[in-house]
Amino acid sequence: MRTIMGREIAEQPAAVAATLDALRPLRSRLAGLGCTRKQVLFVARGSSDNAPVYGRYLLETHAGRLASMAAPRVATHYQRRLDLSESLVVSIEHPGQTQEIVETQSWAKACGAVTVAISNVEDSPLTQSADLALVTRAGPERAVQARKLSLAGVAIVWLFAGPFFQGKVGQAPGNVLYFAGAALSLAMALDLAQLSRER
């Protein structure tokens, strides 16, 4: 009998396709937000970390744009003010309500950053307080391991990176598209292996 996680793995292709279809019209707004910013700073925890790792390699190796991971405790515990006036801060948190991530995004904005939120909940605190919200179309997820949301997050990061290539919205070298497809295919292959074990 197929598990909850197995059923949600099977829903991944539809979730990714729906997410990309819904968010492609926002690429011009992404270009406008990022065109004057020199670096991208990702904010994430747990399984949400996977998309920023992919995004960092994508931006640095193919777009020549500095990208790094933020340390949320600098904002929430040490409460240190940094100059983020040349930063685009991308917060990734699937439910969009984890206090640490929401507070870090607010801190980044107070430090001068432009903020983008990636979440699965449109009216979450994270998306409501961001300059631009990119909401996945993965739907509800009950399994502990957020398979649909994690993969949809990787897809959004690929879409988000598009405007940084050569200053043209949606333009990227062919090998970047290959790497994006490879990342998605690998994740799906691992999940299909899980499905086969459940049969």
pLDDT of 1 reads 53
Report whether pLDDT(165) > 70: no
pLDDT grade for 187, boundaries at 50, 70 and 90: low
Q: For residues 113 and 8, which has the higher predicted lDDT (pLDDT)? A: 113
pLDDT of 169 reads 39
pLDDT average, residue stretch 4-31: 84
Extents of the domains making up the chain: 4-198
Q: Which of 160, 163, 138, 177 is closest to 11 using CA atoms?
A: 138
pTM for this prediction = 0.82
pLDDT of 147 reads 67
pLDDT of 115 reads 97
pLDDT grade for 170, boundaries at 50, 70 and 90: very low
Report whether pLDDT(141) > 70: no
pLDDT average, residue stretch 14-21: 86
Q: What tens digit of pLDDT does each residue of 38-47 get?
A: 999 999 988 7
Q: Which residues contact 183 (CB under 8 A, 6 or more apart)?
A: 54, 154, 158
Report whether pLDDT(175) > 90: no
Q: In what order do the strands lie in the sheet with 87-92?
A: 66-69, 39-44, 87-92, 114-119, 132-135
For the ranges 35-39, 52-56, 137-141, 190-194, which has the lowest average pLDDT? 190-194
Q: State the CATH class of domain 4-198.
A: alpha beta
When the pLDDT of each residue in the chain is averaged and rounded to a whole number, the result is 81
CA 8 to chain centroid, in Å, comes to 19
| Residue position matching structure tokens 């074990």 | 197
Residue 180 CA to residue 197 CA, distance in Å, equals 27
Q: 28 is written with which tokens?
A: 């011009």
Q: Which of 187, 97, 117 is closest to 157 using CA atoms?
A: 117
